[in-house]
Amino acid sequence: MKRYIIASLAILSVLFSSCVKDETYPYASISQVSATTPVGPEDVTVTATINSLVATTVNLIYSVNSATPVTVAMQGSGDTYTGVIPGQPVDSEVSYHVEATTSAGKVVSNVNTYKVAAKPAEPKTLFINEVNCGTKQFEIYNASDKEADIAGYVFKKDDSGDWTVPAGKGKIPAKGFLVFTAKNPDANEGPSFGLSGTKGFKLTMLKDGEIVDEIDNSSSVEGFKTVEDGWTLSRKTDGGDEWVLVEGGTIGKSNGSEPETVGAVVINEVSCGEKKFEIYNGTNKDVDIAGYAFTKDDGDPWVVPAGKGKIPSKGFLVFTAKNPDVNEGPSFGISGTKGFKLCMYKSEEISDANLVDMIDNSKGLETFKTVEDSETLGRKTDGADEWVLFSAGSIGESNSKGTIK
C-alpha cells in the first residue's frame, strides 16, 4: 500500500510541475538620467540607465520654450542609452524626459530642464598695439603664452581697402610683436592703404569677418589725436585700454620700453668770426657726445673730453675753435673767407662708417658761401638740410631766433 501512495505522489508531482509556466517581468525601469551642460548653442547628450528583461523601445522627449515636444530614439549599449538634443539658441529653456516602452506598457522618467547659457568670451590675446603714421607702420601684439599665426586675418582702413595677411607672414611669438608697413607696393608685405596722422584713420583687424581688434582715431571722433611724424599712437601698456601719444615710439618692442631716438645730432651753426660751432640734439632724449671727434679739412681730430659732451633733448652745445685749452675746444680755426669742411665722428677713428655729420663749405665748391665775421652759416631751421647765411646768428639757441640774410 505504501508503494502505491509514493507512486501516486510522484505522478502528481510531475503533473503539477508540467502545468506551471515561468513568468518574466514585462516592464522596464529608468534610472540615472543625466545630460551634458551646454555652453552656447551646442548639442546636449542625454544618458539614462534602462533595466528590462524584455524588448524595450527607449525615446528621449524634449521641448524648447514649451513648444511641441520632439521625440528622439535613444541608442542602447548594454543598460546605457543615449540621445542627443540639438543645439539651441542662447537663453532657450529646454525640458526633457525619457520614456521606455515594452509590450506591457510605458514607464516615464521625471522631467528635467536646462537653460542654454551664453558661451563665455575667450580672453582677448591679439591687439593692434601701436601705429606710426610717419613711417606707415602698425604693430600687432600677441598677449598669449603661445605663438600665434594671423595669416588669413584681414585689415581694413576706414572700413575699406581689405588686405589679407599672406601665408607665412603672420607668426607672432608668445608675448611678442609683428610689424607691418602700410602704403606698401608689395602686397606680400603690407597693405596699400596709408595711415594719416593729420586726417585720422580707423584701423580694423578681422578674422572670418569678425572684429578681433580696432583703433578708431578718425578725425571726427571725440578724443581724436593728431599723430605728428616722429610720434606714435600707442597703447600705454601692451594690450591696455588707454591710448597715448609717444614721441619716438616703440614699434616692434614693448610699449613699456625706452622710446626710439627721433631726429639726429648735427652740426647746426658756425660762426667764423667768433670761431664757434654749435651742435644740436634733435632727439627725444639727452645725449652725451664725449668721445666724439671733430676734424677741420680732414686734419687731425679733436676729441670731446669726458664731461664736456652732454646735450639735452632738443638742446644745443657750443664749442670754441682755435682754442688754447684742448679741454674746451679744438686748436684748429674756422675761416669764413678761405672756407672749411667741418666733420663730426662717433669716435677718434676717422672713417665713413663713423661719420655722424658734416658741413662742407670749402672754397672750391659751387655752393661755397663767404661768411663774414658778423654772420653765421647755419641750417635754415634746427636740424634741417638747407644751409643759409644769417646776418644775425643764434649760436647756442634755436636757429629760429636768427635773421636770415
Sheet holding 355-362, edge to edge: 302-303, 293-296, 339-345, 355-362
Do 102 and 133 lie in one domain? The reply is no
Flag whether 59 is in a domain: yes
* Total-model pTM: 0.48
Do 240 and 280 lie in one domain? The reply is no
Tell me the CATH number at 158.
2.60.40.1260
CB contact set of 284 (below 8 Å; sequence gap of 6+): 230, 247, 248, 259, 261, 262, 263, 313, 314
| Per-residue pLDDT at 260 | 61
Domain stops at, among 49, 83, 115:
115
Give the separation between CA 228 and CA 133, rounded to whole angstroms: 8
Confidence of residue 22 (pLDDT cuts 50, 70, 90): low
- Where is 205: in which H helix or E strand? strand 200-207
Q: Integer distance in angstroms from the first to the last C-alpha of the chain?
A: 161
DSSP class per residue in 265-286:
EEEEEEETTTTEEEEEE-SSS-
Write out pLDDT tens, residues 54-102: 999 999 999 999 999 999 999 999 999 999 999 999 999 999 999 999 9
Residue 256 CA: distances (Å) to CA of 46, 252, 260, 326: 52, 12, 12, 41
Do 82 and 153 lie in one domain? The reply is no
Flag whether 3 is in a domain: no
Flag whether 22 is in a domain: no
Tell me the CATH number at 55.
2.60.40.10
Confidence of residue 7 (pLDDT cuts 50, 70, 90): very low
Do 397 and 269 lie in one domain? The reply is yes
Mean pLDDT value of segment 325-350: 94
Per DSSP, the three-state class of 3 is: helix
Write out pLDDT tens, residues 214-239: 999 999 999 999 998 888 999 999 99
Domain stops at, among 218, 247, 276:
247
Do 133 and 107 lie in one domain? The reply is no
Write out pLDDT tens, residues 274-316: 999 999 998 878 899 999 999 999 999 999 999 999 999 899 9
| Per-residue pLDDT at 261 | 58
Do 281 and 379 lie in one domain? The reply is yes
Question: Does residue 14 have a pLDDT over 80?
Answer: no
| Per-residue pLDDT at 225 | 95
Total domain count, the chain: 3
Q: Could you list the residue range(s) of the whole structural domain that residue 190 is in?
A: 126-247
| Per-residue pLDDT at 121 | 74
| Per-residue pLDDT at 5 | 45
Which residue shows C-alpha cell 639757441? 397
Do 67 and 108 lie in one domain? The reply is yes
Flag whether 11 is in a domain: no
Grid coordinates given for 29: 525601469
| Per-residue pLDDT at 263 | 67
Domain stops at, among 220, 247, 274:
247
Percent of the chain with pLDDT over 70: 93
Do 164 and 54 lie in one domain? The reply is no
Mean pLDDT value of segment 28-56: 93
Mean pLDDT value of segment 35-60: 93
Mean pLDDT value of segment 181-200: 94
Is the CB of residue 51 less than 8 Å from the CB of residue 100? no
Question: Does residue 212 have a pLDDT over 70?
Answer: yes
Do 242 and 288 lie in one domain? The reply is no
Write out pLDDT tens, residues 129-172: 999 998 899 999 999 999 999 999 999 999 998 999 999 999 99
